[in-house]
Structure 1
């Protein structure tokens, strides 16, 4: 369980983060603060793995807070302004979320939190990391639908969205193919074409410049991707 706090002065942004944290299932929100000074005493008394930290805050900015924070847990910065991105990485932050951000982008940021400070059992830590790699969330209207990664056959790019195909259903996502390429385990998923990523475990056969999956779907192999794909699959 990743123990976290939110330091954010805008109630709408607080509510978004609170919902996303609750939807994860492997995170515990300990407290929410409207300014960084309120959080200092709390951090002296409690062990926290992760802080969601806004940059533009009353009394003291998020960047100034980072400068004076003696023992730093993992930090994910949240802001509506991209100007601080470069400076923020000088303080070894985990990620930089530019508002408004999707739940998928939030999950990607959380997946970079490798070793929660409060976890003493290595096996528990491994289970947390595995949980993130075994599921993805697809935004559909006002809902976020959880999909088991093992059920995915392929992901295809189609202009402004990507289509995630499982045996039972196809889901549309506004995230680009590059996002899913970074999100999914590269040992299990591979790019075959500028428009396709597929699940290696679903391959039935490879015929020339084409892959046939267990559901009989035919996926092209692009010339620029073939050598890397074949080495990856046939190693």
Structure 2
């Protein structure tokens, strides 16, 4: 199935580059382009699309304001010549963020993320179980394999996800409650106000300390039942 997409950018050359890049991918069908955000917004009021490639910095309405105004948001890939706009795009949960001039290699990587996420959401709508989740980190959508998660650390409005296959943890704007709602409760459990662990990653528990391959975490007073459960 092709993904219907549009491109919105006030620079004609940028539109031509996006059109040329899209033509390289049979999974994408470009149905319209717009050189101003107002025309794009009007089109989106009456037409449903799967994906928008949209410039952030436009004179009438910014790409960020346009996307924020949509009640039914499609997947979004932001494009811009200015890196300073990245964080606002991150807040809107864009699939990716492309810095101009956009190479075909970088565009291809963004399209692969779009296709992977579309497949994930389609499976989710059919209530199929999936061995991965998606979170937003460093202004992009990141796919995380559940089997690689060791533990999760809460840091106020953010969580750090520690993985077996990546040395640096993934930081995402989400609460501990929010991330646990994405994870199967049979495989992940909260052991402390600040920590949750993958049950299969637990090597041992001693003196209310959970030992993992790369860390030792405390068990909070309100979560002591986990010790009895794990010991069964």
TM-score where L is the length of structure 2: 0.49
TM-score where L is the length of structure 1: 0.49
